[in-house]
Chains A and B, each alone.
Chain A
Amino acid sequence: MAEIKIEKKKPMWPWVLVVAIIVGLIIYFLVDNTDEARREVTPERNEITPREATPQNTVYIDTSKTFHA
């Protein structure tokens, strides 16, 4: 005697959702990394290079002179 049972099909939408989330994350990280790399390569405009600091009030000591108390 044969027996054949049937069953409800498992819904597909959870898998579709998981795949969509994974694809979304991959795209997000790819775009983010590309932006970062571009930022590292291209120097920023209007960048101000600080000049070497020149002290305004420099006191030179004349070592040829001797001081007597």
Chain B
Amino acid sequence: MSDKNRNLHYLDELSGYKVASDYADIRGWDVKDADRRTVGKVDHLLVNKETEHVVYIDVEIDTSIIEEGHDPLQTSAHDGVHEFMNKDGENHLIIPIGMAQLDEENKYVITNEIDSSTFARTRRYRKGDDFDFEYERDVLRSYRGDPEDDYVDEGDFYNQREFDNTFRRGENNPMI
């Protein structure tokens, strides 16, 4: 994937770049949901070359989560979000970096705001396929659990709190 408009690239495709030496390379780490259930594994990192930051974690979702999403008996408080059908082979989804926390000691990623049923309901894509800005918006709406979420245009999209990764080190943090 190489989207020049959004400046999103898979780190693996940028041969001249690597994870900065002071940061964890989380590729291959398990991803756990809010209930500490393993939902998948980090397959790729989607980065912005200009800001030199990871924007999304690309996760290969466990088959158990995928099957849960196909459950025909699943009740449906959130069925309104289900305006799509994930197809066979579509087993990847993205998580905005600001919605993830890293347990560097035990080498896993935690998503405290997202549970496994949300992961199961979220629109996925096939490994290696490109996704568009609309997909990013759909994913964020799904994680927020709000299908009527306000429209945020592309210019401000990555300024939302789900992408805010500057607080951990105190940069731009008025509280510190």
Contacts and interface: CB of A to CB of B under 8 A. Distances in A.
Interface string A31-47: 00000000000000000
B101 interface: yes
Size band of the interface chain B makes with A: 20 to 34
Contact of B16 (A2, A4, A5, A8): A8
B158 interface: no
Interface string B1-23: 00000000001001111111111
A7 B20 contact: yes
B45 A4 contact: yes
B18 A4 contact: no
Contacts, number: 67
B165 A6 contact: no
Contacts of A23: none
Interface residues of A, number: 9
A8 to B, nearest CB: 6
A7 B102 CA distance: 19
Contacts of B11: 6
6 contacts: A1-B165, A1-B167, A4-B20, A5-B52, A7-B21, A9-B15
A6 B19 contact: yes
A62 interface: no
